[in-house]
């Protein structure tokens, strides 16, 4: 398990290094990034329902953000 966590951490670090190649985007150039459809999660309610369903019916879970509580869903 510890070796696997190190592997995942290495992948995350690799992604960080890739990110160093980004180009500077000025605030006035972020119009498209500010759009609703560019959000990480444009419809949080709908995502919550989808995640809840997948959490109930699949063996794995995990998302970026604080995890919620469980349920007795079966």
Partner 1 sequence: MRPRTRFSPSLAALMSAAAALIPEAQAQTATGAESDAHVSYRYNDYSEDAQPAPYGGDPERYHVLSQQFQLATHVGADAALDVSATHEVMSGSSPWYVLPGPGQPIQIMSGATIRDHRNEVRASFTQGTGSSGGTTYSASYSAERDYHATAVGIERSMPLSPALTLGFGGSFSHDLIDPTDAQIYHRVDHEQKNSASLFGSLAFIIDRATVLQTGLQLNSEHGYLSDPYKEAYVGDDILPERRPGRRDQAAWLVRYRHAFSGPDAALHLDYRYAQDSWGVTSHTIESAWYQTLPARWELVPALRYYSQQQARFYAPYFLDPGAHNVYSSDYRLGTFGAFSASLNVRKRVGSWQFSGGLERYHSATGYALGGSDAAVPAVVSYTRLFIGLDYLLQ
Note the residues at the interface with partner 1 (CB under 8 A): 1, 4-5, 8-9, 11-12, 15-16, 19, 22-46, 48-50, 53-54, 57-74
Q: Write down the residue that tokens 């699949």 correspond to.
A: 58
Smallest gap from residue 16 Cβ to partner 1 (A): 6
Smallest gap from residue 17 Cβ to partner 1 (A): 11
Smallest gap from residue 41 Cβ to partner 1 (A): 7
Helix or strand or coil: residue 48?
A: helix
Query: Distance between CA 68 and CA 70 in Å, rounded?
Result: 7
Q: How many CA atoms lie within 13 A of 46 on its CB side?
A: 3
């Amino acid at each position: 398990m510890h070796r696997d966590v190190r592997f995942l951490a290495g992948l995350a670090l690799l992604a960080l290094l890739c990110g160093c190649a980004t180009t500077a985007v000025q605030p006035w150039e972020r119009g498209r990034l500010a759009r609703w459809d560019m959000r990480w999660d444009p419809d949080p309610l709908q995502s919550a329902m989808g995640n809840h369903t997948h959490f109930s019916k699949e063996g794995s879970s995990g998302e970026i953000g604080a995890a919620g509580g469980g349920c007795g869903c079966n």
